[in-house]
Amino acid sequence: MSEGIPAEGARLDEPRLPPVTQLGMASLALIVAGGIYLSAHLPEHVPLTPAIVLLGASVLLFAGNVLALSRVQGFAWGRFFEVARWALLAYALIAGMIEYVFVRNHTSGGPLVVLTLSLVVFAVHVPLLIGFTVARYYET
Amino acid sequence: MAQAAVSPGLLVGEGSAPAAGPPAGLERPNFEIVPRRGLPIVAVILVALIVAVAANKLWPLMFLHVVGGASWTIIDLFLGFVLGPILGSLPVPARIALTTRLMPKMVLIMPTAVIVTLTAGWQLGTHLGFVLDTFYLHGWVLASYIVVGVMAVIALGLLEPANIAVLTELKKPQPRPEVIERLMKRFIYTSGATGLMQIATLVIMTKLASG
């Protein structure tokens, strides 16, 4: 594999950035864990507390990510939104498909609310990660 | 096809330097980050998926789940263990040519394969009773959720952003080699990781299919 991966080249001269990717992956992992928990029980009765705790922790990480990113000086916000809005459209569509298949199978009440909110976090956090990864290397 | 020149250090680790100077003669083909010609095909597939889920018939669900899942698995394995190492050993112009032709297609193919597999798979599992906790192989079904979940976090958090960022960087008149290098490294490593997870998927799915 030594030829497969390039050796360390010139170092990137970029400003210090908050750990957006790491927080984003942690947030997504919590959402996925909640989704697995719900899916493991459906269509039977699901005790919602674990799923709500996972969702709440994921939302906190997302909010922390947005807050940390908003404080970065000179971030390429124009580029960020240019990319993130299209990614949002794509991932909203994907989230919509997942929501559709659960509604089609009569998921309702509390589980549907938790699932929907989880999908909302998923659908906004992935575009944030894509927009961030593109914008952090953007140079005017 | 319009061409643009890029630094010879692009996609190469050793001796890479920022492409601050004039282009050194390598050619970068013009390309679309998201190939628009592929969008109608994706739309047709998604409509077929909606219809299949609404109809809840065995064959269309099985067809979409198997085709989507086979595509997802084979592409991940091929990229992770065959094409990834080859890409790293190619001469620079060949790497650029392959990357700018392959990765835009991946932007459309992979999310489509994933959503078709998961949506049709859940509906199929519901139809066949596999998702019920009374199903005798429910533990295997849960294992599949976990494997897919780990792959999803890696793909969504690392692979997809790196893919888009590499293509965006390559669209610039003067792409920075060190940016491409870092992102390609991430792409190759995560492709390998998801390739390994796909082996687990194959084990689980063949167990579920054979009982």
Q: Do A129 and B161 touch (CB under 8 A)?
A: yes
Token pair belonging to B139: 């533990």
Is 60 exceeded by the pLDDT of residue B8?
A: no
Instruction: Please name the residues in contact with B115: beta carbons below 8 A apart, sequence gap of 6 or more.
Output: A94, A97, A98, B46, B49
DSSP state of A44: S
B22 touches chain A (CB under 8 A): no
Q: Do B184 and A6 touch (CB under 8 A)?
A: yes
Is 80 exceeded by the pLDDT of residue B194?
A: yes
Q: Which residue of chain B has the CA closest to A123?
A: B156
B70-79: average pLDDT: 90
B29 has which bridge partners? B3
The answer to whether B207 and B144 are in contact (CB under 8 A) is no
Token pair belonging to B67: 């085709």
Contacts of B158 in chain A (CB under 8 A): 21, 25
Q: Do B111 and A90 touch (CB under 8 A)?
A: yes
B132 touches chain A (CB under 8 A): yes
Q: Which residue of chain A has the CA closest to B185?
A: A5
Cα–Cα distance for residue pair B100/B122, rounded to 1 Å: 34
What 3-state class would DSSP assign to B29?
strand
Query: Of residues B133 and A53, which shows the higher confidence score?
Result: A53
B110 touches chain A (CB under 8 A): no
Q: Do A101 and B119 touch (CB under 8 A)?
A: yes
B46 touches chain A (CB under 8 A): yes
Is 80 exceeded by the pLDDT of residue B128?
A: yes
pLDDT at residue A7, as a whole number: 37
B4 has which bridge partners? B28
Give the C-alpha distances (Å, rounded to integers) separating A35 from A26, A87, B10, B126, B164: 14, 21, 40, 16, 26
- How high is the ipTM of this complex? 0.81
pLDDT at residue A138, as a whole number: 81
Cα–Cα distance for residue pair B50/A125, rounded to 1 Å: 25
B126-141: average pLDDT: 90
Q: Which amino acid is at B209?
A: A
Q: Which residue of chain B has the CA closest to A132?
A: B161
Give the C-alpha distances (Å, rounded to integers) separating A137 from A34, A77, B99, B180: 33, 12, 18, 10
Q: Do A42 and B11 touch (CB under 8 A)?
A: no
pLDDT lower than 70: segments of chain A: 1-14, 139-140
Handedness of CA B167, B168, B174, B178 (dihedral sign): negative
